[in-house]
Structure 1
Amino acid sequence: MSERHGPEHPAPRLPATDPVEADGGNPPDEKGEVLGLGRSASSAAHDPVPSHQEGGGRAGRFWSARRVPAALLALVVLGAGGLLLYDVAAVRAGRPAMQWRRSLADELARRPLENAWLLAAAALAVAIGLWLLVLAVTPGLRGLLPMRRDRPGVRAALDRSAAALVLRDRAVEVSGVQSVRVRMGRGRAVVRAVSHFRELDDVRADLDTVLGTGIRELGLARPPSLSVHVRRPAKKR
């Protein structure tokens, strides 16, 4: 029996490594046939929708500090601005402009706007600007699932791999389950189980109940929907 984890005992931040399925990882189609191997396996799928609001307040996603892009941009702007201001001050003091500024002005005056190098430089500048805008308006940290804010001033999040590990531990405790794979997304948890005995519908129903309870006990602000797929192990040759 695997140790259960919950909000009181958070799971370690470990990747959800699961046993390799007997069919070599080939997913079954809707009729239960293992693709590419010519072997059949019974399967059943169910997609219950658990309640998404159970007490607690709404909690937003955690924002990434993005210190490295901010530091690089600040260094580039600081260096370019300082060099330009120094050259402008030198020209005002009666000294000639730096060679790089004279060369740049001459090149820009001679080259037409449809020049390939100018277009490439403009496209690069636009791409960098769009990238910085995306970083500025998106929170990032997609691997963290915000938890309910039951106490004012306290925010918490659960790592997606840890949440998947908790659900996997719950699933392997169900009678008839041989192996389980859990993929935890921001809005959907996909569970693929292999059952070596018991009826597939019974195993699936038990998994729906156990995993639905497990998702609620994770204490997430936006509990993901649950998709459970159960099948028989592939026949050995």
Structure 2
Amino acid sequence: MTEPQNPEHGTQRLPTVQPVEHGDVLELDQSASSAAYDPVPAKERGGGGAGRFWSTRRIPAGILALVVLGGAGLFLYDVAAVRAGHPAMQWRRSLADELARRPLNDVWVLTGAAVATVIGLWLIVLALTPGLRDLLPMRRDRPDVRAALDRTAAAMVLRDRAVEVSGVQSVRVRMGRSKVGVRAVSHFRELDDVRADLDTVLSTGIGELGLARPPSLSVHVRRPAKKG
């Protein structure tokens, strides 16, 4: 049976009537299907692996360098002035007096220590983590060449392949570093058939992206929401 097509409101799948053992009928207006795809291990695919790209983090490094340079320069100037017989700067005398009078459990002392701790932990995390989460490393077929694929671009490639599958009305692709989540809307054909075609097309597409660590694939297919 031919179903109506409407570019503005989409198409609605007519109820499907299927016989069962006792002669009753089962009416299906909506259903969903999901599948999981496990990529082939890198050793079986061939090609060398590649680590993640590390961010240079110029902005945090530049800010930290300026702060350290300014503070060190100010302290050195004040120390040199004191050694030359001049009095210490007012801010340094006030700071020394405040630190001498306030106990360790003072609110301002604890607040300053907490802020310094948070900044230090943040700098340690920046130093030990690669960053650049939007870049997916590609396989290194040549040891002197490194390449990466942007996650948004990879998601667009897979989406373009998914919309070409017969029965797919719309599709959303969320590209992660370890998993690809695909949520499609199918306005005709059986959902299991659409899902199977999406599994085949997208698993092939993921393999052709040439990623060093191909993510797993999760596909979810449903019918369009009914218009009230």
The bucket for the TM-score relative to the shorter chain is 0.7 to 0.9
| Contact 1:52 1:224 survives alignment (8 Å) | no
| Contact 1:191 1:227 survives alignment (8 Å) | yes
1:102-135 CA-to-partner distances (Å, cap 9, x unmatched) read 1111111111111101110110000000001100
Identical-residue share of aligned pairs (%) = 77
Of the candidates 44, 55, 60, which is equivalent to residue 33 of structure 2? 44
- What's the counterpart of residue 85 of structure 1? 76
- What's the counterpart of residue 25 of structure 2? none
Structure 2 distance, partners of 1:72, 1:196, is 54
| 1:108 maps to 2:99 | yes
User: Equivalences for 1:54-203 in 2 at 5 Å?
Assistant: 54-203=45-194
Residue 173 of structure 1: how far off its partner (Å): 0.9
Counterpart of 2:34, as a letter, is A
After the TM superposition, list the runs of 4 or more consecutive aligned residues in structure 1 that deviate by more than 3 angstroms.
Answer: none
The count of aligned residue pairs is 201
Structure 1 distance, partners of 2:102, 2:30, is 67
List gaps (5 residues or longer) in structure 1: 1-19, 23-39
Residue 21 of structure 1: how far off its partner (Å): 9.9
Structure 2 distance, partners of 1:21, 1:204, is 23
Structure 2 distance, partners of 1:135, 1:176, is 46
Residue 41 of structure 1: how far off its partner (Å): 2.3
1:19-38 CA-to-partner distances (Å, cap 9, x unmatched) read x997xxxxxxxxxxxxxxxx
Counterpart of 1:47, as a letter, is A
Structure 2 distance, partners of 1:21, 1:107, is 70
- If asked which structure has higher relative contact order (CA below 8 Å, sep 6+), I would say 1
Report which of the two structures shows the higher radius of gyration computed on alpha carbons. 2
- What's the counterpart of residue 207 of structure 2? 216
What TM-score do the two structures reach when normalised by structure 1? 0.82
Q: 2:201 aligns to what SS in structure 1?
A: helix
Q: 2:227 aligns to what SS in structure 1?
A: coil
What TM-score do the two structures reach when normalised by structure 2? 0.85
Against the structure 1 CA distance between its residues 228 and 21, is the aligned structure 2 distance closer, same or farther, given a 3 Å change threshold?
Answer: farther
Counterpart of 1:58, as a letter, is G
Counterpart of 1:50, as a letter, is P
Structure 2 distance, partners of 1:164, 1:66, is 26
CA RMSD of aligned residues (A): 1.5
Q: 1:125 aligns to what SS in structure 2?
A: helix
Q: 1:213 aligns to what SS in structure 2?
A: helix
Structure 1 distance, partners of 2:224, 2:86, is 82
1:10-59 CA-to-partner distances (Å, cap 9, x unmatched) read xxxxxxxxxx997xxxxxxxxxxxxxxxxx62101111212131211110
Structure 2 distance, partners of 1:234, 1:115, is 59
